Amino acid sequence: MVTLGDYLVVSGLLFTIGFAGVMLRRNIIIIFMSLELMLNAANLSLVAFSRARLGPNGLPDYNAQVFVFFIITVAAAEVAVGLAIIVALYRARQTTHVEDISTLKF
């Protein structure tokens, strides 16, 4: 039987992997993918909580599931804006590595 705790562990793991990717990877596209992973970790935990909390009529709490749809939409918008910025940067610098992007310092 898969319990709420199991879902939360997976969700926490996804979030940690995503955050580690953002911190450690050097390619902006990979960093970007890791960011999406973090958002999806939140989606998973929201849906898990929603399923675990059955209301008096035996139905799950749909508020959280609606929340997830909003997050998916927002994530898509974020991809659009992020990729636009990355393309602008690539045109100017011909690189997608964070080490090469260091005109601004301390």
- Residue closer to other proteins by CB (options 10, 67) is 67
Location of structure tokens 């959280």: 64
- Residue closer to other proteins by CB (options 58, 70) is 70
Residue 97, SS3 per DSSP: strand
Angle at 41 between CA 58 and CA 54, to 5 degrees: 10
CB atoms within 10 A of CB 38: 17
Instruction: Provide, rounded to whole angstroms, the least separation between the CB of residue 42 and other proteins.
Output: 4
Residues that bind other proteins (CB under 8 A): 8, 11, 15, 18-19, 22, 28, 31, 35, 38-39, 41-42, 45-46, 48-49, 52-53, 61, 63-64, 66-67, 70-71, 74, 77-78, 81-82, 84-86, 88-89, 91-93, 101, 103-104, 106
Of all helices (H) and strands (E), which one includes residue 81? helix 62-93
- Residue closer to other proteins by CB (options 1, 60) is 60
HSE-up of residue 91 (Cα within 13 Å, Cβ side): 5
